[in-house]
């Protein structure tokens, strides 16, 4: 069931909810993308009420700024208040994992559980990024010439989509199914918001360097599940410092999966999430 959420500055956000039970608000990655977590909702909607949304400027939400982390935290709070109630579980993926973490740090009394899926950690120097770039190019090898050639062409929607599909294919462990999974992510194609991507990424880089996120994490009592795939091209040791900082944390690595573990290992993903939510209820 879809719904519009209005933020305190009047921005219209697209949202959807499915299932019954306690609420789980999910935050997609990007930044600058739209919600692609429908498969997560279908895995979990017999256990929880899953609430998805497009972040401002993205997908089916109103295309307007400002694009700041604090603004996105406030937008998430509007979704929580409108659709989830006074307290909710959160699941964030990739950039959305950082957004969910920031929300829990700012509003711990409004969060029952935090699931940090395939995030990139809190290291201020982002030391994982050169490894990501090398891993990306290595995994893209069969399509790398085409991917690089598309970067030099005029960025029409068709070109942007083709390049994104090739790049996203590197996020999956199995090369035989990677392009199909990436095509599924890109269908329907709702366009990328590059202004949002650049602004949020720059702010997150500053925030990790100057805001001492680790110190704030050490005071967070909300139970946290870190979940990811060992075949993610973003090295998983980048998340070690977050795991060490959190006082109430468990970590699960799902065999045979990359950046979107629910796609390549749905059974273990479902089991890990539902077990975590039930054990810490």
Spell out the domains of the chain, with CATH numbers in brackets.
2-127+192-279 (3.40.50.1820)
Return the closest-CA partner of residue 121 out of 199, 207, 28, 27: 207
The answer to whether 190 touches 32, Cβ cutoff 8 Å, is no
Q: Is the pLDDT of residue 153 over 80?
A: no
Band of pLDDT at residue 78, cut at 50, 70 and 90: very high
Q: What is the reported pTM? A: 0.96
pLDDT at 34 over 90: yes
Let me know the angle formed at the C-alpha of 230 by 188 and 113, rounded to the nearest 5 degrees: 75
Q: Residue 11: its pLDDT value, please?
A: 98
Cα(31)–Cα(17) distance, integer angstroms: 21
The residue count of the chain comes to 281
Distance CA 111, CA 246 (A): 15
Integer Cα distance of 2 and 5 in angstroms = 10
User: Is residue 18 over pLDDT 70?
Assistant: yes
Beta-carbon contacts of 131 under 8 Å, excluding residues fewer than 6 positions away, are 234, 235
Judged against a pLDDT cut of 60, whether residue 281 lies above it is answered with no
pLDDT recorded at residue 238:
93
pLDDT computed for residue 92 by the predictor: 98
Q: By C-alpha distance, which of 263, 234, 270 is closest to 252?
A: 270
Element (H, E) at 24: strand 23-27
Q: Residue 58: is its pLDDT beyond 60?
A: yes
Report the pLDDT value the prediction gives residue 280, as an integer from 0 to 100.
65
Task: Count Cβ neighbours within 10 Å for each residue of 7-38 and write b for 16 or more, e otherwise.
Answer: beeebebbbbbbbeebbbbbbbbbbbbbbbbe
């Amino acid at each position: 069931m879809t719904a519009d959420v209005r933020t305190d500055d009047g921005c219209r956000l697209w949202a959807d909810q499915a299932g019954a039970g306690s609420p789980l608000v999910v935050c997609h990655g990007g930044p600058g993308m739209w919600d692609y977590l429908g498969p997560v909702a279908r895995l979990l909607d017999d256990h929880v009420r899953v609430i998805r949304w497009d972040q401002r400027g993205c997908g089916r939400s109103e295309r307007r700024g400002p694009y700041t982390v604090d603004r996105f935290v406030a937008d998430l709070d509007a979704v929580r208040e409108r659709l989830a109630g006074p307290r909710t579980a959160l699941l964030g993926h990739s950039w959305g994992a950082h957004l969910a973490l920031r929300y829990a740090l700012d509003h711990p009394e409004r969060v029952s559980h935090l699931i940090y899926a395939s995030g990139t950690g809190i290291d201020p120097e982002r030391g994982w990024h050169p490894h990501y770039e090398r891993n990306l190019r290595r995994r893209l090898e069969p399509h790398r010439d085409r991917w690089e050639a598309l970067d030099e062409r005029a960025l029409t929607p068709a070109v942007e989509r083709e390049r994104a599909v090739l790049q996203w294919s590197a996020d999956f462990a199995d090369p035989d199914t990677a392009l199909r999974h990436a095509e599924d992510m890109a269908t329907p194609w709702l366009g990328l918001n590059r202004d949002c991507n650049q602004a949020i990424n720059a702010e997150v880089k500053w925030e990790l360097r100057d805001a001492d996120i680790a110190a704030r994490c050490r005071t967070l009592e909300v139970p946290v599940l870190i979940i990811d795939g060992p075949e993610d091209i973003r090295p998983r040791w980048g998340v070690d410092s977050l795991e060490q900082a959190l006082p109430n944390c468990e970590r699960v690595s799902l065999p045979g999966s990359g950046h979107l573990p629910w796609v390549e290992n749905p059974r273990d993903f479902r089991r890990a999430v539902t077990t975590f939510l039930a054990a810490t209820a």
